[in-house]
Amino acid sequence: MARRSLVFGGVWIPSRLAGPNLAAPPLSARTDAPIARAVTATAPGLRAARDSPRTRHIGVAIVHLIRGSLRDDLERTAREFKNGWWEGSLGDAPIRLETIECPLCGGVCGDQWGAENGFRCIKCSDCGLVYVNPRPDLAEISHANEVGEHRTAGEVLHVVYKRSRRKALRYAATIRAVFPDLIAASTPVRWLDVGAGFGELVEVLQEILPAGSQVMGIEPMAPKVVDAQARGLPVFQTDLSQIPGRFDVISLVNVFSHIPDFHDFLGRLRPLLTDRGELFVETGNGGDLASMEDYPDLLYLPDHLVFAGESHLRDYLEQSGFAVQSTTRIRVDTAVQFGKNVLKAALGQRIKWTMPYRSPFRRVLVRARLTGQPPRPRGRRASAGVVGRGGGIRTHDPQSPRLVR
């Protein structure tokens, strides 16, 4: 009997089960097809029943369904492959990892600080910075940041979320507290918000900065940009190199932890600032904590790649030609936060339970100004009080990148 089988990514579906009308689709990419394998299973009972007309019709319907679904997946794979980021096949594609040196000091040793979603965080023995290692490679990070989906050892981590009114109110209070002079002055300000999300801060700044001020936001995640623009906000999916003009202030709110190389990033921001331009950086002080036990939330690895303490943030800024003007610390493990966690848990969301008013974790708000001095070469240094427990594991081993569970 002639064999007219279907091929789904190298998996054969026998012709008698597939039926005579189904031609093999032209497939060029590999795929993982556990369902198709299940259909091909030749258990004795199935083999005995499959020649009846009814079974055959059911089989044809199932194969139609599988073929449609797989074709969608294959087209997506082919598209992604053409775009040059994908490696491997669907389903079992390996997450491309790279082992790195400490992004701040270049150190290669550290202790495990925490782990989540198959990734681990190392606390650098030399400077105390906490960073994911091994981490997804830069192409994988870049793609994940654009689509808002991070592949992990388990489920995909979706990080698009929703526009938050509460976040906008918090930003308004933050900006009033950190920039009272700018708000009180009548001088218009040019302000760029990097990592603008749904445009919450952009919207707030448009309301509270002096008349004539210009505000613009950029955001890598396409769904957020679409949402912001639909509400008339100047938020764009644009590379830093494409931004015209210079700005008096550039803000990075909850951006630091997502940036693989903050030195390089600051170097790209510097030309966008006026001569005495300022940076506003908000991030948590995870790098000041002894371990993830003190961290009041999930770590969201590998969306978050680096956790700095206050001294690390200052080192990054000073090495890049900025001087810190002010630092504000705000605790997050409040009774209100505890109440929100109760609500989230009731809604079935994943949360981390922590007792209020116990964590040393703080939101850190830093205002820094360009000094006019050239950047200093980054070097290994030990920051007093945040040094790791010494020795520890060697973290830079290109031969053995792997996920930890």
Q: Least separation, in Å, of the C-beta of 312 and Zn ion?
A: 8
φ, ψ for residue 375, nearest 5 deg: -60, 145
> 127 or 228, CB closer to Zn ion?
127
Is residue 193 close enough to count as binding Zn ion by CB under 5 A?
no
Scanning 22-30, 106-114, 183-191, 314-322 for contacts with Zn ion by CB under 5 A, the matching segment is 106-114
> 128 or 195, CB closer to Zn ion?
128
> 90 or 124, CB closer to Zn ion?
124
Q: Least separation, in Å, of the C-beta of 288 and Zn ion?
A: 14
**Strand, coil or helix: 166:** helix
Q: What is the 3-state secondary structure (H, E, C) of 33-44?
A: CHHHHHHHCCCH
Q: Least separation, in Å, of the C-beta of 125 and Zn ion?
A: 8
Q: Least separation, in Å, of the C-beta of 117 and Zn ion?
A: 23
> 32 or 310, CB closer to Zn ion?
310
**Rounded-to-integer distance, Cα 393 and Cα 391, Å:** 7
Is residue 107 close enough to count as binding Zn ion by CB under 5 A?
yes
Whether 103 and 262 have beta carbons less than 8 Å apart is answered as yes
Q: Least separation, in Å, of the C-beta of 106 and Zn ion?
A: 7
**Rounded-to-integer distance, Cα 213 and Cα 189, Å:** 5
> 102 or 365, CB closer to Zn ion?
102
Joined tokens for residue 156: 């995909």
| x-marked contacts with Zn ion along 48-77 as a string, rule CB under 5 A | ------------------------------
| Footprint on residues 298-327 left by Zn ion (CB under 5 A) | none
| DSSP secondary structure, 311-327, as one string | HHHHHHHHHTTEEEEEE
Whether 36 and 11 have beta carbons less than 8 Å apart is answered as yes
Scanning 16-24, 27-35, 95-103, 235-243 for contacts with Zn ion by CB under 5 A, the matching segment is 95-103
Scanning 107-115, 180-188, 247-255, 262-270 for contacts with Zn ion by CB under 5 A, the matching segment is 107-115
Residue 147: which H helix or E strand, with range? helix 138-147
Residue 280: which H helix or E strand, with range? strand 273-284
> 170 or 378, CB closer to Zn ion?
378
> 92 or 264, CB closer to Zn ion?
264
> 99 or 213, CB closer to Zn ion?
99
Cis preceding-peptide flag for 134 (omega within 30 of 0): yes
CA distance readout (Å), 224 to 172, 227, 300: 20, 5, 19
Interface with Zn ion: number of residues (CB under 5 A): 8
Residue partners of 26: CB distance under 8 A and separation at least 6: none
Q: Least separation, in Å, of the C-beta of 390 and Zn ion?
A: 13
In 88-213, at which residue ranges do the beta strands (DSSP E only) sit?
Answer: 97-98, 109-116, 119-124, 130-132, 135-136, 149-150, 157-158, 190-194
Whether 286 and 308 have beta carbons less than 8 Å apart is answered as yes
Is residue 100 close enough to count as binding Zn ion by CB under 5 A?
no
> 107 or 217, CB closer to Zn ion?
107
**Strand, coil or helix: 51:** coil
Is residue 386 close enough to count as binding Zn ion by CB under 5 A?
no
Is residue 102 close enough to count as binding Zn ion by CB under 5 A?
yes
| Footprint on residues 109-168 left by Zn ion (CB under 5 A) | 124, 126-127, 129
Joined tokens for residue 196: 């603008």
Query: What residues make contact with Zn ion under the rule CB under 5 A?
Result: 102, 104-105, 107, 124, 126-127, 129
